[in-house]
A and B are shown apart, each in its own frame.
Chain A
Amino acid sequence: MSKDSSKVLSVASIEAKNLSVVLGGHKIIDIPSFSVFPNEVLVVIGPNGSGKTTLLLTLATLLKPEKKAIIAYWGQPVKYTSDILKLRRQFAVLFQEPLLLSGNVWDNVTLGLRLRGIKKDEIILRAKKWMERFGILGLAKRQIKTLSGGEAKRVSLARAFVLQPQILFLDEPFTALDSPTRAALLDDFESVLRETRVTTVMVTHDHNEALILADRVAVLIAGQLRQIGKPNDIFNYPVDEEVASFVEIGNILNGTVSQQNSGIATVAIGSGQIEVVSPVLAGTRVTACLRFEDISLSIPGNSDTVTSARNQQKGIITRVLPLAAQVKVILDCGFPLTALISKRSYEEMGLMAGQEIIAAFKASVIHLIPHK
């Protein structure tokens, strides 16, 4: 069996087949097949409770999947016997909390190396290198209890990198930090990742972390891998309504293609209709995704606002929501539509609820998802 599987499975760093994980009688993860390639940074995103942490723990061999599952590391299917320690010692795992042990910073950074029985000289060399890299060399003697959140996180990062892992697993490592600390740390972490080219699997619900770090992004919803691909594809071309909603694509409108005319689909939505550059055939039920910021607003009768946009939707403002630098304007054009405009335009145009307005957007900025 093991010979057989190692032939089938390629040289991916991790290759999983029939990956299902059941915890407390509930199926948390159900993924038919999934790979992580050497030197890539794969970021798994998904809402809370989608099974991200379970997936990560399973890939890090800390949880056992169902019997039918095969997970191979560098072509070798894992067996959950005492050999697993050897495999696990090629990994490093970082959790949301720093999870440091009592003692001082040095004890913590060197713990993994000491557990491996590595020689003292090398421990000192490696620990110093990575503590310096994460800016905590000066904290070596400090007791863990006296560290700030950001310092503790740096200690846990050094503790992971000092192991020189073949695969790095991260579970929302930056979530619990305040935003300046997080930005500084993310910056350091990103450059270390680029330098070391360590194969990385990270789970997060933060889109920005995915955009900054990922070579590929996977979207996990309800334990299923809905989409995997380049960050740009995931955030601009979601494959279904739930992914679209999770990646915050903006307006998500359900309708039916009423007409197809040489690559321009007319989609009937509510009591209105829009035109979209798409080959989808008439009669197909579709979900149309349209970013808030791709919509521009103008006041009817104002001749200055000539536009090349194919869609000119007349509507009525139902609500105005001021944000920090921008304003969210919600319209009714026969279907609800939300636009995001700058505070300045909002003030110049003097927009208010109840006012008539024209929403313009290009036929090419809309992403259509045909329903199956």
Chain B
Amino acid sequence: MNLIWQGIVEAFRLLIHGDREMLRIAALSLEVSLSATAISLILGIGAGTAIGLNKFTGRKFVISLVNTGMGLPPVVVGLAVMIFLWRGGPLGFLHILFTPVAMAVAQVIISLPIITGFTAASIQQLDTKLRFQILALGASRFQMVWLVIKETRLPLLAAVMAGFGGIISEVGASTMVGGNIMDQTRVLTTAIVMEAGRGDFGLAIALSVILMILVYAVNLVLTMIQQRNKAQ
């Protein structure tokens, strides 16, 4: 009981004083996960729209792959990325293993299927006749795709939240390809694991509180965008 209490007190002390190392860790977490989400968004909306709008052979197979990918274990992704980026590996010449870039790469791989899957599903859910109607209004193929994406923006924002939530809180891949190097690749989740392992519960709890505040803040912003659109 005492342990928990001490931890919480320590956490608040760190939070109130704005411990510099702690802030650096939080900033890196946000930087890596936000850029990974942004890259996944660009690729995932493109891929999801292509899957959702087009009929091609093997479409069901592709969708099943994407759906499976939505549940990819981060540790497995981490292992794969690590092998590819290892000194002797196929992409070893890039020398990015144990850097934030490698962590972002792993996080893109984790969040891409989530965003692709959400996008494809929400576009498939649109009435086929709506696409006919948009084309009949004189839309070019490009204009049609743009309007369809605009129509699905509410579920797309949910996709962003799911994708971002998934990667900012994952620890397996970040540990493997980042290495939890102080001042370089240490992010909130890897730091929490480490501090807890060392028995420094105060710091671990403080970092957890920050992680949850970050996740909440990002989702709050996205929810406000989503609901504002809805309320208009």
How far, in angstroms, from A257 to B142 measured CA to CA in the complex?
A: 64
Contact status of A62 and B138, CB under 8 A, knowing A95-B129, A99-B130, A101-B147: no
Distance to closest chain B CB from A84 (angstroms): 9
Please give, as numbers and ranges, the residues of chain A lying within 8 Å of B3 by CB-CB distance.
none
Chain A, interface residues (CB within 8 Å), range? 20 to 34
Please give, as numbers and ranges, the residues of chain B lying within 8 Å of A101 by CB-CB distance.
130, 134, 147, 150-151
User: Is A339 located at the chain interface by the 8 A CB criterion?
Assistant: no
How far, in angstroms, from A102 to B139 measured CA to CA in the complex?
A: 16
Please give, as numbers and ranges, the residues of chain B lying within 8 Å of A62 by CB-CB distance.
132, 135-136
B151 x A99 contact (CB < 8 A): no
User: Is A52 located at the chain interface by the 8 A CB criterion?
Assistant: no
Distance to closest chain B CB from A188 (angstroms): 21
Please give, as numbers and ranges, the residues of chain A lying within 8 Å of B151 by CB-CB distance.
101-102
How far, in angstroms, from A88 to B137 measured CA to CA in the complex?
A: 8
Distance to closest chain A CB from B57 (angstroms): 14
Contact status of A116 and B138, CB under 8 A, knowing A97-B127, A99-B127, A102-B151: yes
Distance to closest chain A CB from B7 (angstroms): 48
How far, in angstroms, from A115 to B144 measured CA to CA in the complex?
A: 10
User: Is B184 located at the chain interface by the 8 A CB criterion?
Assistant: no
B135 x A88 contact (CB < 8 A): yes
Please give, as numbers and ranges, the residues of chain A lying within 8 Å of B127 by CB-CB distance.
97, 99
Q: Which of B133, B135, B139, B229 has the most CB of A within 10 A?
A: B133
Q: Which of B129, B134, B138, B140 has the most CB of A within 10 A?
A: B138
Distance to closest chain A CB from B204 (angstroms): 45
Distance to closest chain A CB from B158 (angstroms): 16
B138 x A99 contact (CB < 8 A): no
Contact status of A143 and B137, CB under 8 A, knowing A99-B129, A101-B151, A115-B143: no
Of residues 95 to 113 in A, which have CB atoms within 8 Å of B's CB atoms? 95, 97, 99, 101-102, 111-112
Please give, as numbers and ranges, the residues of chain A lying within 8 Å of B129 by CB-CB distance.
95, 97, 99
User: Is B232 located at the chain interface by the 8 A CB criterion?
Assistant: yes
User: Is A60 located at the chain interface by the 8 A CB criterion?
Assistant: yes
How far, in angstroms, from A62 to B151 measured CA to CA in the complex?
A: 20
0/1 interface trace, chain A 99-137, chain B, CB 8 Å (1 if under): 101100000000110011000000000000000000000
How far, in angstroms, from A102 to B153 measured CA to CA in the complex?
A: 10
A163 x B133 contact (CB < 8 A): no
Distance to closest chain A CB from B54 (angstroms): 15
A57 x B132 contact (CB < 8 A): yes
Please give, as numbers and ranges, the residues of chain B lying within 8 Å of A112 by CB-CB distance.
137-138
Of residues 104 to 163 in B, which have CB atoms within 8 Å of A's CB atoms? 127, 129-130, 132-140, 143, 147, 150-151
B138 x A89 contact (CB < 8 A): yes
Please give, as numbers and ranges, the residues of chain A lying within 8 Å of B150 by CB-CB distance.
101-102
User: Is A92 located at the chain interface by the 8 A CB criterion?
Assistant: yes
Contact status of A159 and B137, CB under 8 A, knowing A102-B151, A115-B143, A143-B232: yes
How far, in angstroms, from A60 to B137 measured CA to CA in the complex?
A: 11
How far, in angstroms, from A112 to B133 measured CA to CA in the complex?
A: 10
How far, in angstroms, from A101 to B229 measured CA to CA in the complex?
A: 13
Please give, as numbers and ranges, the residues of chain B lying within 8 Å of A102 by CB-CB distance.
150-151, 229
How far, in angstroms, from A57 to B129 measured CA to CA in the complex?
A: 10
User: Is A93 located at the chain interface by the 8 A CB criterion?
Assistant: yes
**Quick one: closest A residue to B132, CB to CB?**
A62
**Quick one: closest A residue to B143, CB to CB?**
A115
A88 x B138 contact (CB < 8 A): yes
**Quick one: closest B residue to A159, CB to CB?**
B137
A85 x B140 contact (CB < 8 A): yes
How far, in angstroms, from A16 to B56 measured CA to CA in the complex?
A: 29
A99 x B232 contact (CB < 8 A): no
**Quick one: closest A residue to B137, CB to CB?**
A112
Please give, as numbers and ranges, the residues of chain A lying within 8 Å of B130 by CB-CB distance.
99, 101
Q: List 26 A-B contacts (CB under 8 A).
A: A57-B132, A62-B132, A62-B135, A62-B136, A85-B138, A88-B138, A89-B138, A93-B136, A97-B127, A97-B129, A99-B127, A99-B130, A99-B133, A101-B130, A101-B150, A102-B150, A102-B229, A111-B137, A112-B137, A112-B138, A115-B139, A115-B143, A116-B138, A143-B232, A163-B138, A169-B136
Query: A88-B136, A101-B134 given. 6 additional CB < 8 A pairs?
Result: A62-B135, A88-B138, A91-B136, A93-B132, A102-B229, A116-B138
- What is the interface of chain A, defined by CB distance below 8 A to chain B? 57, 60, 62, 85, 88-89, 91-93, 95, 97, 99, 101-102, 111-112, 115-116, 143, 159, 163, 169
Q: What 8 A-B pairs are tightest by C-beta distance, nearest first?
A: A93-B136, A99-B133, A112-B137, A89-B138, A115-B138, A62-B132, A115-B139, A112-B138
